[in-house]
Amino acid sequence: MPLKLNEKHLSKFISADEFEAIKPQIESAHRLLHDKKGLGNAFLGWMDLPKAYDKEEFARIKSAAEKIRSDSDILVVIGIGGSYLGARAAIEFLYSQHYNDLSCKKTKIYFAGNSISPRYLNEILEICKDKDVSINVISKSGTTTEPALAFRVFREFMEKKYGAEGAKGRIYCTTDKAKGTLKSLADRNGYESFVIPDDVGGRFSVLTAVGLLPIAVAGADINALMSGAEKAMDDFANDDVYSNAACRYAAIRNILYRKGKIIEMLCSYEPSFTMMNEWFKQLYGESEGKNQKGIFPSSAIYSTDLHSLGQYVQDGARLMFETVVDIKNIGNDLFLMEDEANSDGLNFLSNQNMSLVNRKAFEGTILAHTKGGVPNLIIELDSITEFDLGYMIYFFEKACAVSGYVLAINPFNQPGVEDYKKNMFALLGKPGYEAEKETLEKLLK
Ligand code: PA5
């Protein structure tokens, strides 16, 4: 298995009895999920995706990616939330945060529509000015304000640059198969479209065209990605809290939550994990934060954040536990040479790989944090490959669903996200929101 849990540093925080006590709840959550009888059961398509994905569309995704790689200096991926985070997380995890600066990467990838900042959008337009560009606009609903606005701006940019006909061959839409504004726009203008299945919610959609097209443009092997997810699907199909790492992780989270550990920090010692952290935070935060319940997902990249958050983790309010993703083989080491003068006093670190220094930082930190009362779970991941990434994605998704059912919430909706939208639309004067506008404006005075 490319992913294992290491509970060595959890033993003083969780007893064997506690696992026994939660076991039946995990089993019944798992059963609900597999029998498709739980809350939100219309959104379980992600469970079978690794085997049941649309093979014809998969081939089209690969062809589109090849075309983009051959005719575009830049791909602008427009989307937000689940229509953004997975693709970016996967690309940066596999290649680095400096993906766009790697000389082997001919097609750079920029993300837009993930904020309403005019400054940010102007910067991307500027970067695209003298380059050949393709656009992949992603929105399941087809109506989300941030990407819709960015797409309006980029459509105009593309039509000016290439003419309507030329732009048509460079705009790819990933959206609902039949409904929504984006789908209508795509059909009307003849843009190639890819489908977000009805039964796959945004934050569970990275293994659909949502993630696959940008990931394939980055040059990743999406077959291996799906194979890794398929292996995880098989490995995590049982409800055994002892052998199924996804169920076990769901159990650990809920045991700790009930003991007042209401914050989970997902940590990694690899900066390329930064966006995976963001993807995780959306997956768990939007799935579990309901009915005044749920673990608050947060994250850190160590050792960087040991110099900012480290003090709090060691010594602040005892509210959190850490889940550390330990990547066993990072694949790109740096040998530290001896320096004869040793003027920086660092010769005690020389004649070894830098990854070993990072590992000692990890070991030292885990001993310090657990001593300070912070439970630590380690998720050991073999390597940074497409296969292992696919496996890890499915692991987190499966554990999230089981964990959410143990918490007795619907992990597959996000009603709370609507509130800010209603206010924003009212304040912007969107037709249909007139009644709220006046009240809200009074509150802002
Ligand atoms: O997980 C979710 O459902 C959300 O984060 C959505 O992905 C996000 O709001 C974007 O929605 P859409 O794809 O409809 O534009």
Mean pLDDT of 255-276: 98
CB-ligand 1 contact for 294 (6 Å cutoff): no
Query: Ligand 1 atom closest to Cα of 146?
Result: 15
Q: What is the reported pLDDT for 435?
A: 85
Q: 25 CA to middle of ligand 1, Å?
A: 30
Looking at residues 337-344, what average pLDDT do you find? Answer: 97
pLDDT of residue 121: 98
pLDDT digits (tens, 9 = 90+) for 110-124: 999 999 999 999 999
Domains and CATH numbers, the chain: 3-37+226-406 (3.40.50.10490), 45-220 (3.40.50.10490)
Distance 266 CA to ligand 1 centre (A): 22
Q: Which residues pair with 194 in a beta bridge?
A: 174
User: How does residue 8 score in pLDDT terms, banded at 50, 70 and 90?
Assistant: very high
Contact in structure between 154 and 118 (CB atoms under 8 Å)? no
- How would residue 260 be classed by pLDDT, with cut points 50, 70 and 90? very high
Any bridge partners for residue 296, and if so which? 263
139 Cβ inside 6 Å of ligand 1? yes
Asked if pLDDT for residue 173 goes beyond 90, the answer is: yes
Query: Is 201's C-beta closer than 6 angstroms to any atom of ligand 1?
Result: yes
Distance from C-alpha of 24 to C-alpha of 19, rounded to nearest angstrom: 9
The CB of 411 under 6 Å from ligand 1? The reply is: no
Compute, in angstroms, the gap from residue 335 CA to the centroid of ligand 1: 43
| pLDDT grade for 438, boundaries at 50, 70 and 90 | confident
Cα 139 to middle of ligand 1, angstroms: 7
Query: Which atom of ligand 1 is found nearest the CA of 175?
Result: 13
Q: What is the mean pLDDT of residues 390-406?
A: 98
Q: With a 6 A CB cut-off, is 202 part of the ligand 1 pocket? A: yes
Any ligand 1 atom below 6 A from CB of 9: no
430 is catalytic: no
Percent of the chain predicted with pLDDT > 70? 100
Which band of pLDDT confidence, cut at 50, 70 and 90, is reported for residue 179? very high
CA 442–ligand 1 middle distance (angstroms): 30
pLDDT at 417 over 90: no
pLDDT at 174: 98
Hey, whose CA ends up nearest to atom 9 of ligand 1?
81
Pocket test for ligand 1, best of 77, 136, 140 (most atoms within 8 A of CB): 140
**Of all atoms in ligand 1, which is nearest to the CA of residue 201?**
3
Active site residue 168: no
421 tagged catalytic? yes
**Mean pLDDT for the stretch of residues 3-16:** 97
Q: What pTM was estimated for this model as a whole?
A: 0.97
- Is residue 434 scored above 90 in pLDDT? no
pLDDT tens digits along 23-81: 999 999 999 999 999 999 999 999 999 999 999 999 999 999 999 999 999 999 999 99
**Model confidence pLDDT, tens digit, residues 301-320:** 999 999 999 999 999 999 99
Q: For atom 8 of ligand 1, which residue has the closest CA?
A: 81
> Identity (one letter) of the amino acid at 59?
A
Whether residue 293 is predicted with pLDDT greater than 90 in this model: the reply is: yes
The CA distance from 395 to 198, in Å, is 22
SS3 readout for the chain: CCEEEECCCCCCCCCHHHHHHHHHHHHHHHHHHHCCCCCCHHHCHHHHHHHHCCHHHHHHHHHHHHHHHHHCCEEEEECCHHHCHHHHHHHHHHHCCCHHHCCCCCCEEEEECCCCCHHHHHHHHHHHCCCCEEEEEECCCCCCHHHHHHHHHHHHHHHHHHHHHHHHCCEEEEECCCCCHHHHHHHHHCCEEEECCCCCCHHHCCCCHHHHHHHHHCCCCHHHHHHHHHHHHHHCCCCCCCCCHHHHHHHHHHHHHHCCCCEEEEEECCHHHHHHHHHHHHHHHHHHCCCCCCCEEEEEECCHHHHCCHHHHHHCCCCEEEEEEEEEECCCCCEECCCCCCCCCCHHHCCEEHHHHHHHHHHHHHHHHHHCCCCEEEEEEEECCHHHHHHHHHHHHHHHHHHHHHCCCCCCCCHHHHHHHHHHHHHHCCCCCHHHHHHHHHHHC
Cα-to-centroid distance, 390 and ligand 1 (Å): 21
d(CA 246, CA 183): 36
